[in-house]
Amino acid sequence: MGESGIGSVEDIARRAKGASRALATLSTDVKNRALAAMSEALPVHMDGILAANARDMKAARDKGVNDSLLDRLMIDKARVGSMSAALLEVAALPDPVGEVVKGWKTPNGLRIEQVRVPMGVVGVIYEARPNVTVDATALALKAGNAVILRGGSLAMASNLALTKVISEAAEAAGAPRASIQALPTADRESVNRMIKLDRYIDLLVPRGGLELIETVVANSTVPVLWAGAGNCHVYVHADADFDMAEEITINAKVQRPGVCNAAETLLVHRDLVESLLPRLVSSLQAHGVTVHGCPTTQTLPGVVPAVDADWSTEYLGPEIAVKVVDSLANAIEHINTYGTLHSETIITKAYDAAQVFTAQVDSAAVYVNASTRFTDGGQFGMGAEIGISTQKLHARGPMGLTALTSKKYVIFGSGQIR
């Protein structure tokens, strides 16, 4: 996995570039065998992985890390099983490399094909989620890329243990050496070096908080495809089904509040202030959620007055901002003003309202009568994901295999000259 120290970052990247050239032509069978071997290796090395994670968890608790972050950091037998299963799910997906996206013939007889190819070397910079180590590696490898993993300090022992297990398993199954590497340090200088290595690294994917993403985007000379923050919204329209509105709101906020597709703001149409708003607020509070409310919502028991910052806050915990809006147009304006272009949902019986909402809300995933918690590569049938992009580049929303590929033109001639 490379030696510690800043000088090793370039060495790791250089080795990854060499491995990427071999990976680009690796057969689907070999890649799938490598993924299967990685899947088998995880439960075999369960004890070592859990022991490493226990060290990370103890250190995090000693630092006073909050419960939501601890939940993301924690690995147990079930989560190792999920990582193992995800590897097999990716192995079962079609190989995108070599796919002819489109082809045509020019009047002079040239046959042109646009073909999907690997990115090359993908660097993933992430924080306290050890599962990213496995998910990102699975997608990178299946898409023919070498991967460099730079996890955060809180999960260092877990990430290095996972990387050792899966990298050794992949190599034994035929993947090139240095296909999977982790930076053995979490200091800031390692990131500063990594984001300048455009000679070797073809794509960076930062996953984490806004500060991490902004730092990478502002300073990187490597192209960046970021997994954005999730200030997600539930909007309950005037004609909503009350039971559906409550069930979706609770699921979107409570089912797993520390993830990016959890709801952080609830918008309720003014016509529902007396009939439904008290029920929604009470239900949220009964599930342990602190409600930060607008002036109208503040008239309800136990509501904390919302300040301007609440509308743009990604709580990642048992808190939510609640605002009463006068119309569908006001709801859309609020979402497009304060949202992070991630995931939003409308609860409505009106087809016209749903059409306006999906057309005008400028986010990567826009739902009608469903929870925002479905914005996930696995839920979308992509297998594992490397993140959820809130950009408008070649990849948007959950980023699966094709997000880690590029395209090139292959042209067949018969002696044509211009």
Copy the structure tokens of residue 154.
Answer: 């809180």
Q: Which domain holds residue 291?
A: 232-374
* CATH number, domain containing residue 292: 3.40.309.10
- Residue 7: its pLDDT value, please? 47
Q: Kindly state whether residue 417 falls inside one of the protein's structural domains.
A: no
169 and 218 assigned to the same domain: yes
300 and 206 assigned to the same domain: no
Q: Kindly state whether residue 290 falls inside one of the protein's structural domains.
A: yes
CA distance 404 to 205: 10
Check: CB of residue 109 under 8 Å from CB of residue 413.
yes
Copy the structure tokens of residue 59.
Answer: 């250190």
- Residue 1: its pLDDT value, please? 41
Q: Is the dihedral of CA 377, 382, 386, 389 positive or negative?
A: negative
Question: Closest by alpha carbon to 235, among 102, 411, 354, 365?
Answer: 354
The widest CA-to-CA distance across the chain, in whole angstroms, is 81
Q: Kindly state whether residue 263 falls inside one of the protein's structural domains.
A: yes
Check: CB of residue 197 under 8 Å from CB of residue 88.
no
Query: 224-241 b/e with 16+ CB inside 10 Å = b?
Result: bbbbbbbbbbbbbbbebe
Q: Cα dihedral angle (238, 241, 247, 252), rounded to 10 degrees?
A: -40
Q: Kindly state whether residue 379 falls inside one of the protein's structural domains.
A: no
317 and 395 assigned to the same domain: no
* CATH number, domain containing residue 188: 3.40.605.10
287 and 314 assigned to the same domain: yes
98 and 149 assigned to the same domain: yes
For the chain, report the end-to-end CA distance as a whole number of angstroms.
Answer: 50
Check: CB of residue 390 under 8 Å from CB of residue 368.
no
User: What are the backbone dihedrals phi and psi of residue 131, each rounded to the nearest 5 degrees, phi first?
Assistant: -60, -25
Copy the structure tokens of residue 145.
Answer: 């890329």
70 and 173 assigned to the same domain: yes
197 and 67 assigned to the same domain: yes
Strand pairing partners for 121? Answer: 146
- Residue 4: its pLDDT value, please? 37
Question: Closest by alpha carbon to 399, among 129, 149, 96?
Answer: 96
Q: Kindly state whether residue 326 falls inside one of the protein's structural domains.
A: yes
- The whole-model pTM stands at 0.83
Q: For every residue of the chain, which 3-state class applies, written as one string?
A: CCCCCCHHHHHHHHHHHHHHHHHCCCCHHHHHHHHHHHHHHHHHCHHHHHHHHHHHHHHHHHCCCCHHHHHHHCCCHHHHHHHHHHHHHHHHCCCCCCCEEEEEECCCCCEEEEEEEECCEEEEEECCCCHHHHHHHHHHHHCCCEEEEECCHHHHHHHHHHHHHHHHHHHHCCCCCCCEEECCCCCHHHHHHHCCCCCCCCEEEEECCHHHHHHHHHHCCCCECCECCCCEEEEECCCCCHHHHHHHHHHHHHCCCCCCCCEEEEEEEHHHCCCCHHHHHHHHHHCCCEEEECCCHHHCCCCEECCHHHHHCCCCCCEEEEEEECCHHHHHHHHHHHCCCCEEEEECCCHHHHHHHHHHCCCCEEEECCCHHHCCCCCCCCCCCCCEECCCCCCCEECCHHHHEEEEEEEECCCCCC
Q: Kindly state whether residue 81 falls inside one of the protein's structural domains.
A: yes
Question: Closest by alpha carbon to 71, among 85, 84, 60, 86?
Answer: 60
214 and 283 assigned to the same domain: no
pLDDT by residue for the chain (418 residues), tens digit each? 443 334 489 999 999 999 999 999 999 999 999 999 999 999 999 999 999 999 999 999 999 998 878 988 999 999 999 999 999 999 999 999 999 999 999 999 999 999 999 999 999 999 888 999 999 999 999 999 999 999 999 999 999 999 999 999 999 999 999 999 999 988 888 899 999 999 999 999 998 777 888 889 999 999 999 877 899 999 999 999 999 999 999 999 999 998 899 999 999 999 999 999 999 999 999 999 999 999 999 999 999 999 999 999 999 999 999 999 999 999 999 999 999 999 999 999 999 999 999 999 999 999 999 999 999 988 988 767 788 888 887 788 998 899 999 999 999 999 999 9
216 and 236 assigned to the same domain: no
294 and 401 assigned to the same domain: no
Residue 104 exposed, middle or buried by CB count within 10 Å (0-12, 13-18, 19+): exposed
39 and 185 assigned to the same domain: yes
- Residue 3: its pLDDT value, please? 37
Q: Kindly state whether residue 380 falls inside one of the protein's structural domains.
A: no
220 and 137 assigned to the same domain: yes
Total domain count for the chain? 2
User: What are the backbone dihedrals phi and psi of residue 324, each rounded to the nearest 5 degrees, phi first?
Assistant: -90, 130
Q: Kindly state whether residue 57 falls inside one of the protein's structural domains.
A: yes
